[in-house]
Structure 1
């Protein structure tokens, strides 16, 4: 009888059932908040997040650009400047390109444009009306030895050149998301110790956005491969600062963010407006594109891990106590059944608490 009691108590049902159910409950609760978690291991890692790195455009900002100023070179009219730029951007799907085309108004005849080539992190090259046209940032101009006039006007600046001659600049502004500042505050309340912004935009624009939102660190004018290098350095720093316990999450939405999303401990993509490549590469997808959902996800992950540990400690504690009693012949079969089935039922009920996300719906 004592051997049978030991056998019943030692059955690991409570652990085998309740721990996975806790993760399933957490994943299910996250889905009710519009947060898609692709696996329990990502939920566990999210609970240990101490550094959050953001892309700027489309993540912290709306990604809805509008042309605010045209600065033509001497002898170049605003109409000519925007016409050539819109023609070169005819086949681009980037939000900046869309804003340039929208400002021009009428669609550009497709036969005017050929040999279009997008250069990641720099801009676009195209042949427009037989002229070699460049539209992009200062790096694109420098790469082609174009003598251009840099501008300090706040906003994203596109420089335009044709046949090696500088034609002018187009200033485009993007607006910060309404919930972005609150998201940074909520992340700190959730236990995140450091926030970083990586962007290919100009340094003055990036610093202005970071100051407005209260972001701790900013790195601007980065190419996609530069973002990967920065994340590598931040990963190493986070590991040193936390003795390997803290995790780094990267939040992005564009095609260029896919390599960084893959490299980070946890990749988080904006699902509503994000690119398919970013969504595919990410571990967690925010279907509402709300940056405040990141803090909700971290709170939910840490609560889920708390429930997991409650179940582990409770199940092992009760089983160990009954095993000791059984060793001295005090525990009977009914106590053994409770230590097995009863503890499993209680642990399962406790695991179901992870599905309750009413507190995060406000």
Structure 2
């Protein structure tokens, strides 16, 4: 993830930029001087001025309240003035720059006015305390946001810095960006794969957890794809590079997550707008607290009411909201990424909280997309003989159904050759096997040649390959796509959340009905073209349903575009899937659909907890301050305290374990 992303101005959503980032922004600089936040190397010594101010304030308070020794007024002003400038100079500098640019209503000006006002009325230590604790709060806020972004960066930026390339029979260690497609690389046990490629070695096991969230090793065989970010587990492997470094699936995913942190949720956008309106209102309310009592209070004391107005300003600072809310969404995106779910923005976390219906494709989503022979039913001949004739024809076809039959027959023995094999479009195959004319295809093929077969075959809820030998019906083979292991649990989990499930498929209705029955899906519709799937989704939306559509590729693009959010299965296998969907499930598991919805709800819950707690505390202390009950000490402790509480609550998302979700 780029450095610019990790220090995006979106972090604080407007008014609550951290001090260093704001200074860089004021200087119109695109480079950042606080890379220590990026790398986690921030040192207490970097904040020596703040620590010195805190020490001076602490010594003064100990002398005053512990030993009852008060400094003379001029000494008190001098000592506190030094502490104030140590802690507050960066804030004062930024406030001045913003006012000069016409930006008056911001938290830096707010804090400057409040603390200088405290000095004006002689409350030196309270003015210093406000600035010190405010700056400490900003420090911790900046650290928390940086940590959240570092966790996403560390989670996903798993590309190695170097790779071993085989050139002219020698090994060369290069940067992955210098390797060309078609070259071979060597990956030792324990090393990360740097580039997408095809395995040249016989077999190798890889840890794919960083990409998919799946801890179970994945064994790859010669010719199968291997992706950047996988970790070689057991043997030295050679891989033929199939994509440049910048075009790898991992690079695309990193780019997607980088964009996700910049795409704000509706809650974030609302808080940004709220802060812009809220801050000037607070300024004028504080001014009213100071001046309006002059018209109604008999013994009006300007300094007393000024003090109340200053308390009002301090507690009204909106930083708890505008920092903790983006932090909460960063945490949600990071939690999802650790579990193999990629959200393209915080806005889609919000969408997940409103979902009432999950609409799913069948093939590749709930099923593996890998056809297997289910049953061989012979009539008048042995089953092995039927399989023998069918496989002889089907070995000439590249159709997935044909491959399934040939593979199954190969397990039983040798697959014979055929001669004169021809394909009859939309029907099947015809050819000669062992001197006999054989037909293998759908029932329409037998109808075409006027061959009688049992009428109840049309009721079988599987793909059928019907076989005829020398003009006589000889039996049939049923083929079915395998259900994914967690498909039934996925549907059950959605139903427990009171979310309806609907399956839309282009397969024939009996097949769709059978899959729906096995999985417990509420409603299932078959024989649908892509535009008919879109019409079904539109029909549901017209009834007020909030829809997530789950598909496995670009063929479902019209429906994904129409749904409130589109989830793509197996995003690592398809560039088109990554481009089309709003959420990508990397490891192909349907159970992640439920997890994505739960993560959205967890994130939303924590964000609203922060909003409610921050607003309640601020309103209470605002009232106490205006009434003269709360002092500046209590105001700053309440402000910093509620900000830190909100931040800790937001950071809690990053600690959640997804077991049981």
Name the TM-score class by shorter chain: 0.7 to 0.9
Aligned to 2:524: 218
Larger proportion of helix: 2
Alpha-carbon contact 1:59-1:253 (below 8 Å) kept = yes
Alpha-carbon contact 1:14-1:315 (below 8 Å) kept = yes
For 2:392 and 2:528, the matched residues in 1 are separated by 28
**Higher relative contact order at CA 8 Å, sep ≥6: structure 1 or structure 2?**
1
1:153 matches 2:460: yes
Aligned to 2:319: 13
SS of match in other structure, 1:200 = coil
Deviation of 1:16 after TM superposition, in Å, equals 0.5
Over aligned residue pairs, what C-alpha RMSD do you find?
4.1
The count of corresponding residues between Structure 1 and Structure 2 is 330
Aligned to 1:165: none
Deviation of 1:46 after TM superposition, in Å, equals 0.5
TM-score (norm 2): 0.43
Deviation of 1:224 after TM superposition, in Å, equals 1.5
For 1:101 and 1:264, the matched residues in 2 are separated by 40
1:52 matches 2:358: yes
For 2:555 and 2:409, the matched residues in 1 are separated by 27
Deviation of 1:71 after TM superposition, in Å, equals 9.5
SS of match in other structure, 1:62 = strand
Aligned to 2:328: 22
Deviation of 1:4 after TM superposition, in Å, equals 2.4
Do the aligned partners of residues 273 and 64 (structure 1) sit closer, same or farther apart at CA in structure 2, a change above 3 Å counting?
A: farther
- How do 1:16-95 and structure 2 match up within 5 A? 16-68=322-374, 87=396, 89=398
Alpha-carbon contact 2:387-2:409 (below 8 Å) kept = no
Aligned to 1:243: none
SS of match in other structure, 2:560 = helix
Aligned to 1:270: 569
Deviation of 1:81 after TM superposition, in Å, equals 6.2
Deviation of 1:83 after TM superposition, in Å, equals 6.2
Deviation of 1:41 after TM superposition, in Å, equals 0.6
Alpha-carbon contact 2:341-2:596 (below 8 Å) kept = yes
Kindly name which structure, 1 or 2, has the bigger radius of gyration based on alpha carbons: 2
Do the aligned partners of residues 146 and 312 (structure 1) sit closer, same or farther apart at CA in structure 2, a change above 3 Å counting?
A: farther
- How do 1:1-362 and structure 2 match up within 5 A? 1-68=307-374, 87=396, 89=398, 96=401, 99=404, 102=407, 151-157=458-464, 171-192=478-499, 194-237=500-543, 239=544, 247-271=546-570, 275-360=574-659
Deviation of 1:18 after TM superposition, in Å, equals 0.5
For 1:208 and 1:201, the matched residues in 2 are separated by 11
SS of match in other structure, 1:221 = coil
Do the aligned partners of residues 318 and 209 (structure 1) sit closer, same or farther apart at CA in structure 2, a change above 3 Å counting?
A: same
Do the aligned partners of residues 98 and 343 (structure 1) sit closer, same or farther apart at CA in structure 2, a change above 3 Å counting?
A: farther
For structure 2, list consecutive stretches of 5 or more residues without a partner in the other structure: 1-306, 379-385, 415-419, 432-439, 468-474
Do the aligned partners of residues 19 and 230 (structure 1) sit closer, same or farther apart at CA in structure 2, a change above 3 Å counting?
A: same
Deviation of 1:51 after TM superposition, in Å, equals 0.5
Q: Provide Cα deviations, 1:211-265, integer angstroms capped at 9, x if missing partner.
A: 111111010011112111111112222x1xxxxxx62111111332222222211
For 2:633 and 2:388, the matched residues in 1 are separated by 88
Alpha-carbon contact 2:571-2:577 (below 8 Å) kept = no
Deviation of 1:318 after TM superposition, in Å, equals 0.8
